[in-house]
Amino acid sequence: MKVRWRLLSVLMILALVAVACGDDDATTSSTGPAAASCELADLDLVSPGQLTVATGEPAFPPWVGTPTGDNFDEPESGVGFESAVVYAVAEEMGFSADQVVWVRVGFDEAIGVGPKNFDFNLQQYTITAERDEVVDFSDPYYSNAQALVAFADNPIANATTFADLADARFGVQVGTTSLDYIENVIQPSTTVSVYDSTVDAKSALEADQIDGLVVDVATAYYITAVEIPGSVVVATFGAPADAPDEFGMLFEEGNPLRDCVNVALSALRADGTLTSLEEQWLVDAGGAIIISE
């Protein structure tokens, strides 16, 4: 017995030594210095000569495609806000439209470890400090607000203050900042239900398992206009000043391309392109009241 254990420990030590030695050359070489130049030829791209952009599967209007159903789930069309922003950024960086190649990556997949198959990914990712530790975000391309959707005949459809919402049953999509907003700001008495997708949350609304659904304001207008007849946007919520809800493009941690995309984004913001794209593709939130107390 004694001999066997001795051999076992020797082998284990050997294995550990092998592991320790092998570890030395495992440096994270991907985090290089920022690219000095944003000339097309100098860019470090996933596939040389083309801009590979990822979005969700399916991609929903009004972000990709329009609420009227035109070019639904066709980011190549340039129809829909995020699709239009990508083509504007690409043009600003010097790409032609047919050099933009779209790939589909799930929300969870995109945030995983390892090399990415896209240059950047946009599917309404809210920029947060915690997420920023794992991936990199561009500067914001859109400032978001949360909105409450309910059936017109539900009592909460008449809410004007947070107190009116204290006993409501809320539902949200997982991965959205809506959950944090409800739990931290509205603080309802019932546990907030969390769904995989807004589709499931809508099913729960129709099944009367929740009173209201909290989603991004643009999505809210799409849902009420097209997807759930009889539902209304009850209100939009003012984002707390210290925690703005802004969408950014997601890059692999340390990707130098991010700086070049930021240069393009700030040019598009300065010349008013971003604002006009918002006006073109995202419904104006003017109708609903804003609840902030």
Partner 1 sequence: MTQNPLERVERRGPQMLWPRRSPRESEENGRGAWIAVISTVVVFGLLIALALNSQYWPAVQRQFFNWGHFKTSFPLVLDGFWLDVKMFIVAEILILVIGLAVAMARSLRGPAYTPLRLLMIGYIDLARGLPLLLLILLMGFGIPSLRLPGVPNSALFWGVAALVFSYSAYTAEVYRAGIDSVPESQRMSARSIGLTQGQALWHVIVPQAVRNVIPALLNGFVSLQKDVALVFVLGVREGLREADIYNARTFNYTSYIAAAVLFLLVSIPVARFTDWYSDRQRKRMQAMST
Helix axes 81-93, 257-270, angle to 10 degrees: 110
Q: Are 191 and 169 in contact (CB under 8 A)?
A: no
**Choice from 127, 168, 179, 233 touching partner 1 (CB under 8 A):** 179
Q: Are 30 and 44 in contact (CB under 8 A)?
A: no
**Choice from 72, 203, 226, 263 touching partner 1 (CB under 8 A):** 203
Interaction of residue 15 with partner 1, rule CB under 8 A? yes
Could you write out the three-class secondary structure of 28-97? Answer: CCCCCCCCCCCCHHHCCCCCCCCEEEEECCCCCCCCCCCCCCCCCCCHHHCCCHHHHHHHHHHHHHCCCH
Interaction of residue 281 with partner 1, rule CB under 8 A? no
Stretch that binds partner 1, among 75-83, 138-146, 196-204, 217-225 (CB under 8 A): 196-204
Q: Give dist(CA 247, CA 29) in Å, integer.
A: 28
CB of 57 to partner 1, least distance (A): 17
What residues from 56 to 95 belong to the interface with partner 1 (CB under 8 A)?
none
What residues from 127 to 146 belong to the interface with partner 1 (CB under 8 A)?
128, 130-131, 133-135
Interaction of residue 152 with partner 1, rule CB under 8 A? no
Q: Which residues bind partner 1 (CB under 8 A)?
A: 4, 7-8, 11-12, 14-15, 18-19, 22-23, 26, 28, 107-108, 111-114, 128, 130-131, 133-135, 171, 174-176, 179-180, 191-196, 200-201, 203-204, 206-210
